[in-house]
Amino acid sequence: MPFSQPQILPTPPETDLTGRIIIVTGATRGLGYEASLQFLRLKASTVILAVRDVVKGEEARRRLLADAEVCRTNTTASVIVLSLDLADFDSVMRFAKMVRERFERLDILLLNAGINLARFETSKSGHEILMQVNLLSNALLSLLLFPLLQKTPTDHTHIPTITFVGSMGQAFHSLASFPLHRQPSILAHYDEPKSYSRFARYPDTKLFVALFVRALAERMPLTSSLSKKGEVKEGKDQVVVNNVCPGTVDTAADNNLPWYLRIPMNLNRKLRARTVQEGGRALVNAALIVGPRSHGAYISNNEIKR
């Protein structure tokens, strides 16, 4: 991991999201909030804040709509707050049903929400909570909303996109040291307290995110989505799926860790972190700019990795 991080350049100023509907999970603060703000400044018509705490979601909504640039350039913007608890499959299914019933299109699904703990905990749905929140519920939500993205028309500027927020931390997964042996259920293995590692579980979840994105892209390939000039063709049924690491960003992402882990993590952020604005631009780039070239890929420092 290099000490310095390359700058994430601003989104092209001609980018225009008029008419687009976008979902951002984990949007009350940090990267989710910043990405929502940037989408609105790019004239997104509707941004749906998918949040666990609806009160905080409403506070974020008011701040977004009060932003001076949004007030000046996107006067008809709509920001909608919907409840989503990724620790509960029932909540995920209710959320997806609500979206499918209320909206005729979905242009971007930005799966930003995630957690990092250093203790074993079981979710409401009975799975180890990091695996549930960071992987399983995001995977379920992407599949439940995939048909809505598929029926959203593609034009010459954009293909409907699902962007998972991953992490370079996936390189520190546990499989090299503790390989999985043949067994009936991989999930059952990760649901066992004896299989839990406080240092490796977060990287494990992000590794499986990358694997899920690759597997979904292989099963849902893009068909001739680019013209000979490299422009996006018009049509339907096309959905880009990718996975982006925003890098080390100056957020409160490690606040749930114990003090002996927070100290080195916060020192790392202090020395080399990107601003939250740059981190937000990395998410927007993955969801909006890189397009079909990134299908199934991992994106880091705005570069597509294979």
Enzyme catalytic residues:
202, 206
CA–CA gap between residue 22 and residue 191 (Å, rounded): 33
What size, in residues, is the chain? 306
Separate counts of helices (H) and strands (E) for the chain: 10, 8
Q: 277: closest CA among 48, 83, 67, 78?
A: 67
Rounded-to-10 torsion of CA 113, 149, 296, 22: -40
- Identify whether the C-beta of residue 254 lies closer than 8 Å to the C-beta of residue 265: yes
CA–CA gap between residue 15 and residue 154 (Å, rounded): 16
Task: Name the β-bridge partners of 303.
Answer: 300
Q: 138: closest CA among 163, 175, 107?
A: 163
Terminal C-alpha separation, the chain: 17
CA–CA gap between residue 271 and residue 60 (Å, rounded): 28
Q: What does residue 45 show for φ and ψ, rounded to 5 degrees?
A: -75, -40
